[in-house]
Amino acid sequence: MDPPERLGMFRVVCLLAVFDAVCLLDTGMLFPRESSSREVKELNGLWDFRADQSPNRNQGFDRAWYKSRLAETGPVIDMPVPASYNDITQDPALRDFIGWVWYEREVVVPARWVADGGTRVVLRVGSAHYYSVVWVNGVKVTEHDGGHLPFEVEIGSLIRKDPTVPCRITIAVNNTLTLETLPPGTIQHMDDRTKYPEGFFVQNFNFDFFNYAGIHRPVLLYTTPKAYVDDITVVTDFLDNTGLVKYNVSVQGAANATLSVTLIDKDGRCVATSNGPAGVLKVVDVKLWWPYLMHENPGYLYSMEVRLTAADGKSTFEDVYSLPVGIRTVSVTSTQFLINNNFGYNRLITDRKFCGKSKGLDWPLIVKDFNLMKWLGANSFRTSHYPYAEEILQMCDRHGIVVIDECPGVGIKDIRSFGKASLTHHLVVMDELVRRDKNHPSVVMWSVANEPAAEMPPAEFYFKTLIQHTKALDPTRPVTYITASNYARDKGAPYVDVICVNSYFSWYHDPGHLEVIPIQLNTQFENWYGKYQKPIIQSEYGADAVPGLHSDPPVMFTEEYQKVVLQSYHNVFDQKRKQYVIGELIWNFADFMTVQGILRVVGNKKGVFTRQRQPKAAAFILRERYWRLANETGRLPPWTKYPCSL
């Protein structure tokens, strides 16, 4: 039986339309997958690299380093891709470098790709931080603004110009943050020669993680036929035991194309078919997508195979693309967050960064982190404070991990970053984020920012515009931002669907006074709920703990203090989760690197795991709690009961 709250607004809208067309981007950004019509060639590995150390960082452009091999214009070093460049050498100047760095690599392109004019060859960069310019054989092919989302460009005609020349790819990346980048920052030049050397400048910003830079995610070439599937959007629903997959396919390269769509289950059986660019697939005896520990078979995925056929008079083109699809619904009431109409206190949420030594995509670390998360009994996280790699979201889809997908809008504190140029860029970033992640069943909510100065007067227009735009892009998911503002002064809160609030009682406020937590946390919840009547997620709470430091009674920075902070918060959550608190996200999953400063001892130590992924005492508290909460649902088969052998 559906609860009365099922009148959740998102559900209703999603039956009416697959996403609106307010997105300003004119092409799709499907994850590159191999198929009978598509090939993928990864360009990961060692690239030639040089940081432009010239005073204005512009020598590379002045001397056109892209025109010849990088090694011909100066010294180069080996640089792994994907990876951040900062910690690769022992050189502090490279670790803290600000400005343009240059990457280059020559690629052997398969002869048949070059020979066949009916094949598109696409160069794709998973992400490079922050601003990138790309050349192929000395010709500029694209540029991209923003650090955590993919960009691509078709280069077939360029490499066909002279098939005897190897394909030389040059990518210049600049990590400078300005008032209008996301995240924002400022460059400060220190001109007092009695204090600073010639040319001294620093990058300032208001976020608490090291500004790792470089090419962070895979670079690859992939092919499609000239007529191809450019984008797919799916929206799912169900009625009794029939699943509904509403789809839209956009095609490029052919005015008339024939499309056939097949939905295949995990056992390879075809469960529904359709024709045409839009339609609804009906799945009898549907297997819904469930979060981890909410069902005995979480993360169930179908595969939607889209087959395109088109002809241009001379040739016929066939393109095949397979998209994983999880069938589930998401809705929000004034006190609940429902997945498939079921309320399981959105507990077990933890927060994490898939980030070890750098920000580069690192498979062993990703798999380790998923194993640790499952060991804890955690079932979700927030992509603080920037979009994570698509490969991570694919893992979430498969393992049933629920995601709040956050854009890089962190540290928006300067009033000048609420201006028109900043907002325009922020809207484009949301377009790019939704375009990339809209089909992941694991993504259940968008977050447009972390702890902006939401009390400033321009914040109301800024967030109203941003949130309305994101809802128009995707009417099927709730939208939030993460606040640390006072409930009475927060200008954006009226527009969010779920209140996400960060607080650090007995840490940044009343340090050392654990006894204030119950009263202050209680007041926090009462105030927010009293004013907005929206469900609340505690989106950060925690305390630094230096592993191995102990003290009883607890003092700050010891493992005992971190434990008691978490436990004191949990006591209040246990009261409030019966009412309107729908989730808890500890800060943080693992320790992480920050800029150097008097508040940080070699990084932020609020992790319940160290950077090397060893548990602190608090990890065991969480494990006990998360499994107990999971067991309380009564929905788990006996073999998942804690303590269990994982």
Contact set with ligand GCB (CB under 6 A): 208, 385, 450-451, 484, 502, 540, 587, 604, 606
Residues 171-208 as b/e (b if ≥16 CB within 10 A, e otherwise) read bbbbbbbbbbbbbbbbeeeeeeeeeeeeeeeebebbbb
Q: Which is nearer to ligand GCB, 467 or 545 (CB)?
A: 545
Q: At what angle do helices 363-376 and 390-399 cross, to 10 degrees?
A: 30
In whole angstroms, give the CA distance from residue 492 to residue 480: 9
Rounded to the nearest whole angstrom, what is the least distance from the CB of residue 191 to ligand GCB in the complex? 31
CB-nearer residue toward ligand GCB: 213 or 543: 543
Which pairing describes strands 45-51 and 119-125: parallel, antiparallel, or unpaired?
A: unpaired
**Residue number, 331 or 502, with CB nearest to ligand GCB:** 502
- The answer to whether residue 72 is catalytic is no
CB of 450 to ligand GCB, least distance (A): 5
- Name residues whose C-beta falls within 8 Å of residue 635's C-beta, 6 or more positions apart in sequence: 294, 295, 296, 344
Helix (H) or strand (E) holding 421: helix 420-437
Q: Which is closer to ligand GCB, CB of 409 or CB of 535?
A: 409
The answer to whether the peptide bond before residue 183 is cis (omega within 30 degrees of 0) is yes
Q: Give min distance, CB of 88 to ligand GCB, in A.
A: 24
Contact 525, 582 (CB under 8 A): no
The residue among 266 and 509 lying less far from ligand GCB, judged by its C-beta, is 509
Residue closer to ligand GCB (CB basis): 113 or 504: 504
Closest distance of CB 503 from ligand GCB, Å: 8
Peptide bond preceding 130 in cis form (omega within 30 of 0)? yes
Beta carbon of residue 208, minimum distance to ligand GCB (angstroms, whole number) = 4
Reported residue count of the chain is 646
Sign of the CA dihedral 263, 397, 18, 339? Answer: positive
Residue number with CB closer to ligand GCB (274 or 538): 538
For residue 111, what are the contacts with CB-CB under 8 A and spacing of at least 6? 163
CB of 438 to ligand GCB, least distance (A): 25
Give the H/E segment covering residue 625.
helix 617-632
Sheet holding 380-382, edge to edge: 380-382, 402-406, 443-450, 479-483, 499-502, 536-540, 581-584
Our CB check for ligand GCB shows the closer of 160 and 413 to be 413
CB of 437 to ligand GCB, least distance (A): 21
DSSP assignment letter at 169: E
For residue 460 the two structure tokens come to 């109301």
Question: What is the C-alpha radius of gyration for the chain, rounded to an integer number of angstroms?
Answer: 25
Catalytic residue among 406, 451, 559, 584: 451
- In single-letter form, the type of residue at position 133 comes to V
Q: CB burial class (10 A; 0-12, 13-18, 19+) of residue 643?
A: exposed
Cβ atoms < 10 Å from Cβ of 26:
8
The 3 state secondary structure assigned to 290-330 is CCCCCCCCCCCCEEEEEEEEEECCCCEEEEEEEEEECCCCE
Least CB distance to ligand GCB at residue 451 (A): 5
Catalytically active residues are 451
